[in-house]
Amino acid sequence: MTTLPPNPPAIILVRPQLGMNIGAVARAMLNFGLTDLRLVQPRDGWPNPEAGPSAAGADSVIEQARVFDSLADAIADCSLTLGTAMTTRDMIRRVVSPAGAVAEMQALPSRSAIVFGPERTGLTREDLLHCHALCTIPSNPDFGSLNLAQAVAVLGYAWVIGHEAPPPSAMVNHDGPASQAELAGLIAAFDARLAENGFYNPAPGLEDSARRMLTNIFTRPAFTQAEVQFLRGVVRSLAEPRKPQ
């Protein structure tokens, strides 16, 4: 009898296209004890009647699925977000195997998330900005594109067998990692002060590019809550008028 590990990750589908695939994902999730399905801008809206048949009885997952306007909103309560992608699209991110991803998630007392992109195109560079690391399923170099629900099944299987593996070496972090909402708050604080200070180049497009770089820089390391608070103090301090010495 299989024992399901506690505290399973959320499965986040970004701009999923076919309701049938969302149902197949729900089935694969429940097969491996995953129940928290989150949808970001599903193409055909939600609920979608085409999801039911392929869910094949995983109705509870379908019924409890939540819809979000943005990936940032969907991961607000998560402190580890892993994007599934075959390549890093030239970004600086750690790349972990499914087993490595599972080991990290199972060492974490807080909520984690695995993010999957649209069926046809996968996650964009913009989506991956919000991910702390990329999880790549090892596959045929000449035919590597997995069906969405099959990829979820592989990660679900890795989740269930992972707890039998010895615990990985891990950073000791007594504070607990910062949630994505805390990080987003830090980034917004930087952003506000920088905008006030005229940091952003007013040329069209460059402001967005600078904002993406800010998100990218602060999403990469595993900040603790205390570190995020400290950095917010740094922002405040830098933006205050200097006191005479």
CB 79 → a second copy: shortest distance, Å?
A: 25
* 11 binds a second copy, rule: CB under 8 A: no
Beta-carbon-side half-sphere exposure of residue 111 (alpha carbons within 13 Å): 16
| Rounded-to-integer distance, Cα 15 and Cα 232, Å | 32
| Rounded-to-integer distance, Cα 236 and Cα 234, Å | 5
Among 121, 140, 169, 245, binds a second copy (CB under 8 A): 140
CB 138 → a second copy: shortest distance, Å?
A: 4
Between 45 and 144, name the residue whose CB sits nearer to a second copy.
144
* 185 binds a second copy, rule: CB under 8 A: no
| Closest to 42 in 3D by CA, of 97, 116, 111, 135 | 116
* 157 binds a second copy, rule: CB under 8 A: yes
The angle, 0 to 180 degrees and rounded to 10, between the axes of the packed helices 180-196 and 225-239 is 10
**79 within 8 A of 111, measured Cβ to Cβ:** yes
**CA 143 → CA 21, 84, 115, 138, distances in Å?**
20, 16, 21, 11
Among 49, 69, 121, 141, binds a second copy (CB under 8 A): 141
Span near a second copy by CB under 8 A; candidates 31-39, 192-200, 223-231, 233-241: 31-39
Among 18, 62, 160, 184, binds a second copy (CB under 8 A): 160
CB 144 → a second copy: shortest distance, Å?
A: 7
| Rounded-to-integer distance, Cα 67 and Cα 77, Å | 14
| 84-103 residues near a second copy, rule: CB under 8 A | 97-99
Span near a second copy by CB under 8 A; candidates 29-37, 40-48, 197-205, 226-234: 29-37
Cβ-proximal residues to 17 (8 Å cutoff; 6+ apart), any chain: 43, 44, 118, 119, 120
Span near a second copy by CB under 8 A; candidates 77-85, 109-117, 134-142, 200-208: 134-142
* 147 binds a second copy, rule: CB under 8 A: yes
| Rounded-to-integer distance, Cα 214 and Cα 191, Å | 8
How do 66-68 and 94-96 pair as beta strands?
unpaired
| 42-71 residues near a second copy, rule: CB under 8 A | 56-58
Interface contacts to a second copy, rule CB under 8 A: 1-2, 4, 24, 27-28, 30-33, 56-58, 97-99, 137-141, 143-147, 149-151, 153-154, 157-158, 160-161
